[in-house]
Structure 1
Amino acid sequence: MSDLSNYEGYQFEFRCERCGNGYRSAYQRDKLEMGRGVLRAVGSLFGGRAQDLSNAAGQWAYNRGTNSPAKDKALAEAVQEISPSFRQCRGCGDWMCADQCWNDEIGQCLRCSPSVAEEISRAQAEAQRRQIWDKAEQTDWTTGLDVATRAKLTCPSCGSKVDGGKFCSSCGSALALPTRCGGCGSSANKTGAVFCSDCGTKL
């Protein structure tokens, strides 16, 4: 519960412990505070005894932050007003809003006794998601792809965008860069060679 009261009246907000939706009670204007407001206005104009009365009214307003008989009465009326919108679950003991989080058929909150239709829908969606991943894993997505040659996003010769393969579809240049030997520095080795054809060093 949130206390939304101010110096001129009382109001409270009650929240569902499942969804968090808030329900505010009607604002209850404090008639006594209206009279004290007049006293403060008179005291500021005339001073003296009137000023003392104004200070007393201000101290009363300061003390309204704590509980008082008037505030307790206003809270009790707010609870009476809002209570039809809430149900207390016998399973968990929490207070739930009747509109969104209550299972009328079972007499418990949806957290303790979920809606059968909602649970079926969630289970179906989760099963469908898992099956999509399973089928995607079982499908061969590499048929027709050259996975032995490292694919390039751009042709090293003309800079065109390519989707893989051995040669550029725009200029015909080889997409695989020559492998340079770390031993003799030769770049004459064929793509995929394991040893240098000039010095025998492992590539």
Structure 2
Amino acid sequence: MPTPVPFTDNVSDLSNQDGYQFEFRCERCGNGFRSAFVRDKMELGRSALRAVGSLFGGKLQEISYSAEQWRYNRASNSPAKDAALAAAVQEISPNFRQCRGCGDWMCSSQCWNDEIGQCLRCSPSVAEEMSRAQAEAQRGQIWDRARETDWTADLDLATRAKVSCPSCGSKVDGGKFCSSCGSSLAVTTTCGGCGSAANKPGSVFCSDCGTRL
């Protein structure tokens, strides 16, 4: 009866026609551990056999076809591949722990709680949880304090804010006068016909009565 192989739910097969290689990933952080590439010692002989068969045909060509078919079948039913996978598991397993809480395989370097004997997802580190909770509480308190502070006490909300001075064109941060030229930022153009002061600086005609300004 074959021996069960762990990691069957988080292993990627990187094997190719020249040999075998596998990558195992932590089921919490996703960090990967790749086994050493193991060259298939029989592949060189099969390659040569295929080359000879293609040249001479006949029985040799049939044998080369069998070698080619073996290469395709090797993806799932090859004893050599099973042995390579078992060796890769032995190579990589020291980097993993299986959690008794959730059953997942976790990397021992980042996601394992040695003190408890479970993964950090089932048994988080007390210090890490405290730090995370403190940071989250501090963030919330900053937002609460910011909402309690009146940030508009010194702002003139009755005057339309402008981002450029109508006189010199300089960029401004608000206020009543330009910090570059001292001109009023609330310059208006009064219509001589209807007296409207709603016209923007630079307007040629009154927006209320059409009189030329």
State the TM-score, normalizing by the size of structure 1. 0.79
For the 8 Å contact 1:178–1:187, the answer to whether it is kept is no
1:20 to 9, 17, 30: 30
Aligned partner of 1:187: which letter? S
Q: Does 1:61 pair with 2:71?
A: yes
Q: Deviations over 1:125-146 (max 9, x none)?
A: 2122222222222223233322
1:121 to 131, 135, 138: 131
Deviation at 1:32, TM superposition (A): 2.4
Aligned partner of 2:173: which letter? D
Residue segments in structure 2 that go unaligned for 5+ positions in a row: 1-10, 199-213
Aligned partner of 1:86: which letter? F
Q: Deviations over 1:5-37 (max 9, x none)?
A: 112222211111001111122222222222212
Question: SS at the partner of 1:65?
Answer: helix
Question: SS at the partner of 1:105?
Answer: coil
2:39 to 26, 29, 37: 29
RMSD: 2.5
Q: Deviations over 1:31-53 (max 9, x none)?
A: 22222122112223333332222
Residue segments in structure 1 that go unaligned for 5+ positions in a row: 190-203
Aligned-partner Cα distance in 2 for 1:34–1:21: 34
Deviation at 1:169, TM superposition (A): 4.6
* Residues 1:66 and 1:180: Cα distance change in structure 2 (over 3 Å): farther
* Residues 1:86 and 1:180: Cα distance change in structure 2 (over 3 Å): farther
- Mapping of residues 181-192 of structure 1, within 5 Å: 186-188=195-197
Aligned-partner Cα distance in 2 for 1:180–1:93: 79
* Residues 1:179 and 1:106: Cα distance change in structure 2 (over 3 Å): farther
Cross-structure match for 2:153: 143
Deviation at 1:173, TM superposition (A): 4.3
Aligned-partner Cα distance in 2 for 1:114–1:179: 68
* Residues 1:12 and 1:188: Cα distance change in structure 2 (over 3 Å): closer
Query: Percent identity between the aligned chains?
Result: 77
Cross-structure match for 2:114: 104
Cross-structure match for 1:52: 62
